[in-house]
Amino acid sequence: MSVLKARVGGAWVAVPMAGGPDEVFVGPTAPTDSATELWYDTASQPAVDPAKMPRGYVGQHVLTTAFSTTGTHTTLQDEGLTLAINEGTGRFYKITLALAPYTPGGPNTVTYMLLRNGVQIRGWDIAVEALSTSFTKATVLEHVVSGATATGVIYKLQMRAVNSNTSVTSYGAALIPRSMLIEDIGGV
């Protein structure tokens, strides 16, 4: 029988483990007898506070339609992805945006801007050299924010053209949706 040895309250304790030595590999060489031992020192590992652990999925907004800028294309416009969440103080939230931009109005750089309650918190420029006037470019953008206790915090995405006043598009379709995903990735 394999044995787990751990230091608990300053004393080493042996705890029998299910499985035989052929099911457990410890150290740089394979065990050769049934006295296989695994040592684990809890004193060297800080205790994990469950309140600080990640809580995972918070919300998602998915769109299967395209958005193209109108009017003055160099002005930031609401792209359509919006998500309201309740935040907690000291929690970290990862925002992942899956997008497929292209520039049907002609060669252009595209700017995406992420807003939190109407305030710009992060921007990304996708260079004209990385975009096409006829094909979409799969793009994933991420940002991490620290939350404050608040209910109904609204995250919104905006976009605009940069180099010329021509339309830019954030493509969306059933098989190529654009989306915003927010996850709680832990706390302090």
| 46-70 per-position pLDDT tens digit | 667 888 899 999 999 999 999 999 9
Confidence check: pLDDT of 25 > 90: no
Q: Could you name the CATH architecture of 51-187?
A: Sandwich (2.60)
In angstroms, the CA 95 to CA 126 distance is 18
Supply the pLDDT for residue 10: 57
For the chain, domain boundaries: 2-44, 51-187
Task: State the average pLDDT over residues 20-46.
Answer: 50
Helix, strand, or coil (residue 82):
strand
User: φ and ψ at 120, to 5 degrees?
Assistant: -65, 125
Confidence check: pLDDT of 44 > 70: no
Supply the pLDDT for residue 24: 42
Contact yes or no for 16/3 (Cβ under 8 A): yes
- What residues contact 71, with CB distance under 8 A and at least 6 apart? 77
In angstroms, the CA 85 to CA 64 distance is 22
Supply the pLDDT for residue 78: 98
Q: What is the pLDDT of residues 65-84, one digit of tens each?
A: 999 999 999 999 999 999 99
53 CB neighbour count, 10 Å cutoff: 12
In angstroms, the CA 178 to CA 64 distance is 7
Higher local confidence (pLDDT), 178 or 36: 178
Q: What is the pLDDT of residues 99-130, one digit of tens each?
A: 999 999 999 999 999 999 999 999 999 999 99
Supply the pLDDT for residue 84: 97
How many residues are listed for the chain in this entry?
188
